[in-house]
Amino acid sequence: GYSTGSTDLAEIYESVETLEPGDIVYTKGNIGVGKASSTSQPIIGVVSTKPAVILGSEVGTRTETEHPIALSGRVPVKVSDEYGKVEVGDRILLSSLTGVGAKATTSGFAVGIALEAFDGADYYSPGTIDMESEVVVTGETCVDVTTEGDAKNYGGVAPSDEDGNPPPAASSQQSGTEK
């Protein structure tokens, strides 16, 4: 048999937009994708973090514009608490933040089903941390990182305007979701 630590099936698509793992994407036709910003767009998947199987790509030949898009399986998805706390089993729909999901409060196309809860307190869920990282002892002190005022950078360095002011706050994270 075949065994892998990853759990999704992905296919290579191209985008001129900057895409990150966990972004919800829509098809632009053929093999083009972009970050989804409207439920009227044909959403096809999520940018994969660490796909188990990649279709349509030779090993080591991917370019900057090529991205593995998870079409099926378990994959971390960027979510927001915009429509309330996400509980295990909640359907995830596109939020008002481009490329980001939220708890479904209405009917519509579901990106997936939440496998982990999210209350806006932590950026990464324990499942995502386990999937994306290895334990490395560096001798450095670990610190808590706050995402308040982070807007849409999901725990990274928030962009700022010319005066150094951060954008308006929005709480979001990646949470494991089954497609």
Q: Give the Cβ contact number of residue 91 at 10 Å.
A: 19
Please report, as a single letter, which amino acid is at residue 56.
G
Per DSSP, the three-state class of 137 is coil
Q: Per residue in 83-117, pLDDT tens?
A: 999 999 999 999 999 999 999 998 888 888 998 88
What pLDDT was estimated at residue 177? 54
User: Which helix H or strand E contains 112, and what residues bound it?
Assistant: strand 112-114
* End-to-end C-alpha distance for the chain, whole angstroms: 24
CA distance linking residue 100 with residue 98, whole number of Å: 6
Is it the case that residue 36 has pLDDT exceeding 90?
A: yes
CA distance linking residue 178 with residue 8, whole number of Å: 9
What pLDDT was estimated at residue 137? 41
Handedness of CA 83, 85, 86, 91 (dihedral sign): negative
Report the residue count for the chain: 179
* Cα 89–chain centre separation: 17
Mean pLDDT of 10-23: 93
CA distance linking residue 140 with residue 47, whole number of Å: 31
User: Which pTM does this prediction carry?
Assistant: 0.69
Q: Report the mean per-residue pLDDT for the chain.
A: 74
Give me the residue label for tokens 């089993």.
Answer: 89
* Cα 108–chain centre separation: 19
Q: Give the Cβ contact number of residue 53 at 10 Å.
A: 14
What pLDDT was estimated at residue 174? 55
Please report, as a single letter, which amino acid is at residue 3.
S
What pLDDT was estimated at residue 118? 87
179 near 71, Cβ under 8 Å?
yes
Q: Per residue in 144-169, pLDDT tens?
A: 333 333 343 343 344 444 554 444 44
